[in-house]
């Protein structure tokens, strides 16, 4: 995946360059466009992955689709009735999912329990870096979603604690010869780039650069390789074709949610509610996929 890493580095600097050329409104529009395209497509084909995970004789498309939709609808309702709880669950699920996607390949030799703790800590570190550099906007969004007015997120202190925990874990893993030094150096370089991006960009644009370039695109490639065995162009096209109906349904669902609740909720509340709704089942499916790969 060296090519993907190089692509991510170059694309990140391109994203940083965009912040110097265009106003924040343009970053906002482009950010949402990328999230609603690449971001949503990477999570739209979970049923294809479930099909690859399941014994074909036991695969019941209708039953699986209904179960999947039930989870999504339940998540939306939890966000509507218990927004504080839903927000916490969203952060927990997202943190683990981000860490798992980013590190699964490099930590094959690490014990599963320790590895999963690290996944969560790493993903949480990424999120709190975003929070730290966008403190006021994050507090505003939390207030919009949960109706809670926070005066301090303690994002600096939490980020330092999480960063120290990550360094300790990597040093211990390096000493046990379960990770290469080059991997650690590469990761520290990546985190420095992300810090610069989060500091220099608006909240949505900084998150978009990480979510699309460092998470969604690598995840898409992992899913295609898992489902079809390789990354040939024909399989990329097959994956895209299979994901297209679910992506259209997702956009329709987001639009419906907006028009039904636009007078009750702010756009950010609806946006994160919907993203959370599809994140919950997607994170579970990806956990099973990585477990199956192992």
Rounded Cα distance, 287 and 104, in Å = 10
Whats the size of the chain, residue-wise? 294
pLDDT at 114: 92
Please state the domain count of the chain.
Answer: 1
pLDDT at 267: 67
DSSP class per residue in 44-71: T-HHHHHHHHS-GGG--HHHHHHHHHHH
Give the pLDDT mean for 223-236: 87
pLDDT at 59: 58
Rounded Cα distance, 47 and 243, in Å = 9
42, 220 Cβ separation under 8 angstroms: yes
pLDDT at 29: 86
pLDDT tens profile 186-212: 999 999 999 999 998 888 899 999 999
Q: How confident is the model at residue 292 (pLDDT cuts 50, 70, 90)?
A: confident
pLDDT at 197: 92
With residue 8 as reference, give the H or E element that holds it. helix 2-21
276, 75 Cβ separation under 8 angstroms: yes
pLDDT tens profile 111-170: 889 999 999 999 999 999 999 999 988 888 888 877 788 888 899 999 999 999 999 999
pTM (two decimals): 0.88
Rounded Cα distance, 46 and 65, in Å = 10
> What are the backbone dihedrals phi and psi of residue 53, each rounded to the nearest 5 degrees, phi first?
-85, -25
Q: What is the mean pLDDT of the chain?
A: 84
122, 184 Cβ separation under 8 angstroms: no
pLDDT at 75: 78
pLDDT tens profile 97-114: 999 999 998 998 898 899
- Domain containing residue 133: 2-293
Task: Give the whole-number percent of the chain exceeding pLDDT 90.
Answer: 32
Angle between helices 112-133 and 155-175 (to 10 degrees): 150
289, 53 Cβ separation under 8 angstroms: yes
> What are the backbone dihedrals phi and psi of residue 264, each rounded to the nearest 5 degrees, phi first?
-100, -30
Rounded Cα distance, 106 and 235, in Å = 25
Burial 252-278 (b: 16+ CB within 10 A, else e): ebbeebeeeeeeebeebbbbbbbbbbb
pLDDT tens profile 53-89: 776 556 566 777 777 778 777 877 787 788 888 888 8
* For the ranges 36-45, 159-168, 258-267, the one whose mean pLDDT is highest: 159-168
């Amino acid at each position: 995946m060296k090519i993907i890493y190089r692509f991510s580095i170059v694309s990140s600097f391109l994203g940083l360059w965009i912040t110097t050329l265009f106003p924040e409104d343009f970053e906002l529009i482009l950010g949402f466009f990328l999230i609603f395209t690449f971001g949503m497509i990477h999570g739209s084909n979970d049923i294809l992955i479930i099909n690859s995970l399941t014994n074909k004789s036991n695969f019941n498309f209708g039953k699986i689709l209904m179960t999947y939709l039930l989870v999504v609808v339940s998540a939306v309702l939890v966000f509507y009735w218990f927004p504080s709880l839903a927000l916490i669950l969203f952060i927990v699920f997202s943190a683990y999912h981000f860490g798992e996607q980013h590190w699964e390949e490099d930590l094959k030799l690490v014990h599963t329990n320790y590895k999963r703790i690290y996944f969560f800590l790493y993903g949480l570190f990424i999120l709190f870096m975003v929070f730290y550099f966008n403190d006021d906007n994050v507090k505003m969004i939390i207030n919009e979603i949960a109706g809670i007015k926070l005066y301090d997120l303690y994002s600096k202190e939490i980020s330092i604690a999480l960063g120290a925990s990550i360094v300790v874990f990597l040093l211990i893993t390096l000493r046990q010869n379960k990770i290469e030094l080059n991997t650690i150096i590469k990761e520290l370089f990546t985190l420095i780039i992300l810090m610069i991006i989060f500091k220099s960009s608006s909240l949505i644009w900084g998150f978009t650069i990480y979510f699309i370039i460092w998470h969604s695109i690598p995840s898409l490639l992992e899913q295609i390789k898992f489902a079809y065995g390789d990354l040939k162009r024909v399989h990329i096209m097959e994956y895209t074709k299979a994901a297209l109906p679910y992506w259209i349904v997702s956009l329709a669902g987001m639009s419906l949610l907006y028009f039904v609740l636009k007078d009750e909720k702010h756009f950010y509340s609806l946006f994160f509610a919907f993203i959370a709704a599809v994140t919950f089942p997607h994170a579970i499916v990806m956990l099973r996929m990585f477990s199956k790969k192992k």
